[in-house]
Amino acid sequence: MDDAEAVSVADAPQDRRYEARVGDDLAGTAAYIRTPEVIAFIHTEVGEAYEGRGIGSALARTALDDARTQGLRVLAICPFIAGWLTRHPEYDDLQFVPESSVTD
């Protein structure tokens, strides 16, 4: 991607997803379910024409930065977001662990 093809990511709350655009084209989305305390990412998809160009990472980074700013915990149901979090420990503090999965 060159500067003319810069990706922009924004929340589209009416559609419950983050949208990545290259110019006017929808390049990818990260769908979520949100409560007042938690945002659960359920599916991330990047258009075939945009694969391998950092669109998924841009979606993940923007969505997670927004979650941090809004004081939300993150539940990564989506395998892409879960994998991205594993590779970026600087976001470990955001991860939501349901009480039922915690053992004594």
Cα–Cα distance measured from residue 94 to residue 47, given in angstroms and rounded to the nearest whole number: 27
User: pTM above the 0.85 mark?
Assistant: yes
Are the C-beta atoms of residues 46 and 9 closer than 8 Å to each other? no
Residue ranges covered by each domain of the chain: 7-88
Q: Give the CATH number of domain 7-88; options: 3.40.630.30, 3.40.50.740, 3.30.710.10, 3.30.565.10.
A: 3.40.630.30
What does the pLDDT look like over 34-67, one tens digit per residue? 999 999 999 999 999 999 999 999 999 999 999 9
* Dihedral sign from CA coordinates of 41, 65, 84, 46: positive
- SS3 readout for 22-88: ECCEEEEEEEEEECCCEEEEEEEEECHHHCCCCHHHHHHHHHHHHHHHCCCEEEECCHHHHHHHHHC
- Looking at residue 1, its pLDDT comes to 45
